[in-house]
Chain A
Amino acid sequence: MASVDYSGPLTPTGNLRRRRVVDRLARGSATAAAVLAVAILLIFIYSIVQHGASVISLSFLTKNPLETFSVSGNAPVGGIGNAIVGSLLIVAIGTAIALPIGVLIALFLTEFASPRWAGPVRLALDLLYGLPSIVIALFLYGLLVVGHGQAGVYASLALAIIMVPLIARTTGESLGLVPKELRDASLALGISRWRTTVGLTIPSAFGGIVTGTVLAVARAAGETAPVLLLSSLANPTQTSGSVFSQPLNNLPYDIYNFSVEGGATNFAKAWGAALVLVTFVLVANFTARALHARSRRMMSR
C-alpha cells in the first residue's frame, strides 16, 4: 500500500477485472446448484406422474394385490387397496400415540422443567431425532416381533417414536412464541397454572401444534424401514386384518416389494403406489406450510 498513484484515473485494473470474473463464476455456480436441486425434485415428480398416472384407476385403488381385475393391455393385475387401508390404520394409531406425548413433552420443557431436568429430556429428544428409522425398527423387532410375530400396531409404535421428537420440537417452538406477558397476566388474575396452560397457552400455540403434526404424519407415512421389519408379511388377499395381532399391508412396503421384485408389471404397480403416496406427502407438506404462514400472521397481529 506504500506507493499508490493517486493521480491515475479511477478505472478498474486488471486485478479488478479478474475479481469480477471470479465473482460472476462463483455466483453462477451457486445459482446452478440451486437450479439442480429444484430440477431433481421436478424430475422425481415428472417420473412418478409419467409412470404412475396411467396405472391409477378405481380398481387399482380398491382391489388387493392378488385379485385380478383387468387383463386388457398392460394394465397390472391387482391393486393397492389393502395397502391404503393398512397405511391409514398404522399411521393413525402412530399419530394417536405420538401427538399427546409430543405435546406433553413440549409443555414440560417450556412450562415446567427447571434447566436441570430439561437438559436430559432435550438430549433424549435430540438423540431420538437422530436415530435412523432402521435402528428404531430393529429395536422393536428384537423387543416385540422375535418369538411373537409381526403386527401392524408394532409399526405404529415405531412411527410414534419417529414422530414424537418432530411434534415436540415444532410444538415447543410455537409455545416459545406465546408471549410471557400473556401467561403472567393470566396467573396474576389468580387463574391456576393448568387452567392457564390448557385454556390459554395451548390454544395460542395450536397452529404450530397442527403444523408439526401434519409434517410428522407426512414423514411417517413414507417410512419404509419400520414396516419392512414389523408389518410386511401380510396376507395379500385380505383387505384388513386386526391391526393389533396381524401385519397389515401398506404403501411403503408395497412400493419396496414391487420395486425389488422387478418386471414391467411390478414396476407399474410400484409407480402407481408411489404416485398415491407422494401426492399425500406433498399435499400434507403444502397444508403444513399454509397453516404455518397463517398462524404466524395471527401471532404477529
Chain B
Amino acid sequence: MNSIAGTARLPSSRRFTDRVGDRVLFGLTALASLIAVVVIALVIYQIVHGAVPAMSKYGVGFLFHDTWNGSTIFGGGATIFGTLVTSAGALLIAAPLGIAIGLYLSQLTSPRTAAVIGPLVELLAAVPSVIIGLWGIVVLAPIMRSTIEPALHNVLGFIPLFGSPSLSGSGIFTAIVILAIMALPIIAAITRDLFLTVPSELKDGALALGATRWEMVRGVVLGSMRPGIASACILGAARALGEAIAVLQVIGFVFQAHANLFDNGSTLAATLANDATSNNTTLETASVFYLGVILLGIELLVNLAAQAIVRHYRLPSATGGPTQKIVDVSAAATALDVEM
C-alpha cells in the first residue's frame, strides 16, 4: 500500500480566517452574555440607588407606615398591603382553576381535544394587559357594581372583607378578578406540561388496581407533582405581583389600607406606573424607587424560590429549558397508595 502523500493542510489564509473567526464568534457570544449579566446588575443598582434618599430618611419603618400624602410624608404600607391582598386573592381564584385546566388538558381529555384547547388557553396569556384593563373598566366593572358585589355583600356581608359595594365598580376585588384571569393561563400551561411528564406506567398501574380516573389523578398525578404545582402557583403569583397597568386601570387608585375588598386601593406596581412620572419632589421620586426596591426584591425572591423548587425536585423546568423526566419514581409510587 502506498503511504498517503502530501499533507491535508488548508491554505494558510483559510487557517487564519478560521482562527480569527472562531475567536470573534466566541468573543461576540461572550459579550452578549456579559451584557445580560450587566443589565440585571444595573437594574438592581439603579433602582436601589434611586431609593437611597427615601431609605435614609424613613428606614425600615417605610414598610409599615401607610400615609402617602404626595408632598411631604411617604410610606409604603398601604401599597404593600394592596399588593399582598390582590395577589393572594388572584392566586386563590386562579390556582384551583389553573390546576384543573392542567389536569383536563394532560389527563382527562384526548390529545386531539387538548391540541385545540391548550393553545387557546395559552392565547389568553398573550392578550396585552392594557386591553384586559380596558375590558375591566368598560365591561367587568359595571357588572361588578350592579350584580356581583351587591350579591356577595348580601350573603357574606357579616365578614368585613365584603363591605359595601363600590360606586364605580372599580376597586380591589375587580383588580383581583383581572389578575386571576392573567395568572390562570400561566398556571394552566405550566401544570399541564408538568403533568404530562408523569410516567404512564404509574398511571396505568393505578387504573389497573381499580382506581377511578379521579383517584388515579389525585393519588399519582397530584401526589407526585406537589412541588411542581407549588412552583407553578408561585410563577402565577409573580405575574400578579408585577402587573402594573391593568391594576392601575381598575383599582381606583388611592393610598389606603382597609378590610373592604370592594373599596379602592393601590399596589406596588400600579404606584410605580402612576407616580414615577409625577415627580413633584426628589423625596417623592426616591419614595417611588423605594417601592420599586420592594417590588424588585419580592419578584427576585419569588422567582428564585420557584426555580429552587424545580431544581431541588429535579422537575421538568417550569420556565423552559431542557426537560428532564422525573426520576423519583418512589415518591410517585408511595403516592399510589390510594384509598379504595
Contact = CB atoms under 8 A, between A and B. Distances in A.
A194 B272 contact: no
Interface string A255-292: 11001101000010011001001100110010001000
Contacts of A133: 242, 244
B194 to A, nearest CB: 15
Interface residues of B, number: 96
Contacts of B105: 34
A205 interface: no
A29 B100 contact: yes
Interface string A199-239: 00000000000000000001101111100110010000000
A190 B10 contact: yes
Interface stretch (B39-47, B64-72, B155-163, B223-231): B39-47
Contacts of A107: 25, 29
A40 B43 CA distance: 35
Given A130-B299, A134-B269, A142-B46, A229 B277 contact: yes
Contacts of A112: 26, 29-30
Given A33-B101, A218-B126, A270 B244 contact: no
Contacts of B119: 289
Nearest to B304: A127
Contacts of B307: 126
Given A113-B33, A125-B36, A193-B25, A281 B121 contact: no
Tell which of A197, A221, A259 has the most Cβ of chain B within 10 Å: A259
Contacts of A270: 134
Contact of A37 (B30, B188, B213, B269): B188
Contacts of B42: 139, 143
A252 B131 CA distance: 8
A176 interface: yes
A48 interface: yes
Contact of B212 (A20, A128, A138, A169): A20
A142 to B, nearest CB: 4
Contacts of A229: 273, 276-277
B174 interface: no
A7 interface: no
Interface stretch (A53-61, A63-71, A72-80, A97-105): A97-105
Contact of B244 (A108, A132, A192): A132
A142 B121 contact: no
Interface stretch (B54-62, B256-264, B289-297, B326-334): B289-297
B17 to A, nearest CB: 8
B6 interface: no
B150 interface: no
Contacts, number: 275
A38 to B, nearest CB: 5
Tell which of A29, A105, A172, A218 has the most Cβ of chain B within 10 Å: A105
A282 B28 CA distance: 34
Contact of B128 (A101, A223, A262): A223
B47 A282 contact: no
A222 B320 contact: no
B316 interface: no
Interface in B230-289: 238, 241-245, 248-249, 269, 272-273, 276-277, 279, 285, 288-289
Contacts of A104: 28-29, 31-33
Nearest to A19: B212
Contacts of B302: 130
Contact of A222 (B25, B130, B181, B322): B130
B133 A222 contact: no
Chain B contact residues: helix, strand, loop or mixed: helix
Given A108-B30, A224-B129, A225-B273, A27 B120 contact: no
A243 interface: no
Given A108-B33, A229-B277, A40 B181 contact: yes
B97 interface: yes
A252 B319 CA distance: 26
A85 B98 CA distance: 38
A252 B300 CA distance: 26
Nearest to B25: A194
B269 A132 contact: yes
Nearest to A257: B130
A38 B303 contact: no
A190 B8 contact: yes
Contacts of A260: 137, 248-249
A291 to B, nearest CB: 14
Contact of B29 (A22, A105, A130, A169): A105
Interface string A150-192: 0000000000010011001100110010000000000000101
Given A33-B97, A112-B29, A135-B43, A281 B126 contact: yes
**8 shortest interchain CB distances as A-B pairs:** A222-B128, A132-B242, A104-B32, A130-B303, A108-B29, A192-B18, A33-B100, A194-B21
22 contacts: A33-B104, A34-B109, A34-B117, A37-B185, A47-B135, A126-B319, A129-B319, A131-B296, A132-B269, A133-B242, A134-B272, A138-B276, A139-B42, A141-B277, A142-B49, A161-B39, A197-B25, A222-B127, A259-B137, A270-B134, A274-B131, A277-B131
Interface of B: 8, 10, 18-19, 21-22, 24-26, 28-33, 35-37, 39-40, 42-43, 46-47, 49-50, 96-98, 100-101, 103-105, 108-109, 117, 119-121, 123-124, 126-135, 137-139, 181, 184-185, 188, 212-215, 217-218, 238, 241-245, 248-249, 269, 272-273, 276-277, 279, 285, 288-289, 292, 295-296, 299-300, 302-304, 307, 319-322, 340
